[in-house]
Structure 1
Amino acid sequence: MCVTSTTRDTSPGTPFTRIFKGCAPISQCPATGTRRYSINVGIALLRKALRCCDDDECNSEPLDVPTFEPFNNQTCNFCLPGTEDCSLPVSCQGEETRCFVAKVANSTGQYPLLGCTTENVCSSANKLKELIDKDEPHSISFGPDCCDGNSCNIYPPGLKCLTCQDPSDPQCSTVESVTCSPGELCATSSIQATFPGVPTREIYKGCASSSKCPAPGLWSYSVTAGSSRTIASVRCCDENDCNSDTLPGPVLQPENSLICFGCSPGDTACNNTFVTCRGSENRCFTTKVRTASGTKQVSGCTSANVCDSGGRLSAFLYLDSASGLSGRPVCCSGSLCNRLPDQSPLPPICPLGCQPRPPCPVRPAPPPRQLLRQLRAVATRLQELLRRLQNLLQRLQNFLQNLVDQISSVQSVATRLQNMVRRLQNFVERLQRQLDQLQETVRKLQRPGRQCRCW
């Protein structure tokens, strides 16, 4: 076809406007009419307009030079020229609705090219070559690889991983391939969660940061908070779309010896509720959760790899219901080490010059007479216990004498019994001394004492 084109280029040091008339290949003129292409690489903006026609010498009329259009809401990354520093943002203009990554080779070598462009440039690498080729030789060695979304054109590009197409589908029935951020691995995870009365199993696939995937392999994370429990099995891999398999659901692990204070969001007695940890849960933790009524405390058990990563707790649960977990877990070792600070209200402030009134005890002490009766009852029970022990001691002595007289072959048994008798005698003597002390205390309490009145 015949073509008329005008190009406006704002490259530093070489701004120019060029008019071209001639023949055009089908990649540049797939049909008759006017088309506009745009590429924005941060420090340079190039816009090109073409009019294609299919009659003899139909391209005689001039074509207006493209104008610069206002910024839109799209933002893409671009590179410093001749470097691989490609993390700088550029605001796109007009119809530049896509971000792209390409590589350009010239006489000095090969370097990345990132920025904004229009949809019609993304459909063919030839169009991008025609836009950037001026008087010096360039060649496109890669791309353009276009993407949707702000700053989606990351360089160097990360792994391509499968991700769940519908985030609300707990079984991840359909997947799509996405480009991850640099340093991320692909992950497939199976989560078994038990919230109060609501057991849940969810499948997750997608990109994973180093906090969840420190290295390729199989990882497991476990969190118990009050009546809620979550176990996640995660398989990490470092090849494109390697996370296609689905892991079986994790199995509930047996209880271990660690006990932690545990409460779910909304519980008001976090320091009065205990949870027994399971399996690999060898740390106690506390963290915070956002709710409709404000920020609440959450505490319980977790595995050491959750604590050591320094990541937010919600990152390890993978569940939408955990999105309110806002804080990093504060972990500690040892049973009941995660007690929250006492938040009981302070006593009222006394006005200047007065003496503060002592607080009344929650449970008043029993009166002296009642205490005396209780001590007497304890002394009586101890006397009865002492009598029974003395009888038992006598029977053991008799039994031991019979054994010594009749069976000489069991000398070792008799010796052990004698040792036991001696220990029992020592115990009886200590008990007798304690009883004497208790009786002395009872006699002292029976003496008339001073009475006080409490206000």
Structure 2
Amino acid sequence: MKLLVSLTLLSAVCAAVGALVCRHCTDPNDPECTLVENIICPWGKMCVTASVIVESTDHPVMRIFKDCVGRSVCSSPGERVISSNVGDKFSLANVNCCNTRKCNGEVLPFPDVSEHMLNRRFCPGCDSSESMCTDTVECRGNEATCFAATVLNAGVESTVYGCGSDDVCAASEKLDSLPFLEELGTVSATPTCTDAPEPQIRRCLQCDDPMDTTCAASTETDCEAGTDLCFTFTEEGGRIYRGCGPPSVCPSPGSFLLSADIGSSLGLANAECCRGDGCNTATLAAPTQGMTNGLMCHICIPGSTVCNFLVLCEGEENRCLTSASDVGGNSLPLLGCTTEAVCNAPDTLVSVLLPGTVLTEPVSCCSSMRCNDPDRVITTTLPPSTTTGMGGGSGGLGGIPPFLFPGVIDADLNAVVIQEMLFVVQQVLLYLQQLQLYLLQCPVDQQLLLQPLLLLCQQLLIYVQLLLQPQGVW
């Protein structure tokens, strides 16, 4: 008898010595897991730590989870992602499983929800307003599993449907709830999981006749893989476009203004992106450009690498644009003003605003004054002048001689005046370009009379710019 008791005590001591000790959040209502305690886990379990984001129609909640769990959640040591999604609410967790003493003390980075987008796989869902479950839930990210779980909430039993990661059912059974969605209720029966159907192809309206600027007739067509949104655009002149909206055209649903002014050309369009097959039925009003807003960006003389000229941005143009385009087989800089919406959806620049343009460099944007300087030298303040008289040295800004303007003895003021002159000359050049376009609508005899005069004026103004440019500071 004494031997039996001794063996029992020895076995208990050995089990205690060999048991796994894990960190455990003491307060389940504390999302930051401020207080932790050490607990002894049952045989065969592992320690787990998770950083969880729960998204709902109200607001996102971030929480930290630490505990010991069974093999259904942690089949082996290492990191994994667990998600569960019931449509109007989903959880996404970075999870790390480990099997050494107190190994779950670290705090993992939270998952990137922007990569957990709708993936066009659909699982059965349930509309609480109906007695029959005829709704669907669209899966997210890598979710490829449909689940059905019976839960008990406040004494009421119901079935919850949705999407999840591959281990969502096993995790639900052992966690007694859908992973990190405890507020939905306690899982009262073993959930069932099936493979989600293959992703559906998004269908969007496209104009039947590309030559019809009003898009009077349109038909639903299949979009390319990876496209989740549809778009409709209306240009300044009233032309309407409809089609599929990949992320480079429609990064998110909503309405926005597209605008790009590269000096020689201005593109302007109202845009709307929506989620849903054939949802792009809206007819948007033609936009109008706003007043100048104070931002100035560099532009280039068309067909050249001379880009030290400025344009005043207008309306919602709150970014300076930098890219390059193919001109006659050469890659030439493309600079100007644009809106934030174009920066977020760079393909709209060439597909809508500047059709026919072929970009040879990615679009980049910045938001400070003259920040798209091709020389990448940005001067925001003028340094003090060292010139005290007309006979002074080369001091001042950029070595501007004080005798450029005999009545002005301050070289810094000379620099400012030169910049203003360059801006005025540039604006006149742009006006002459618009006038040339207008002349194309005039009788031929008037064109023959006025075109040489316009070309002469342009050449003179360009010559003046080239004379002033080395003296200016950009």
TM-score, normalised by the number of residues in structure 1: 0.39
Larger Rg: 1
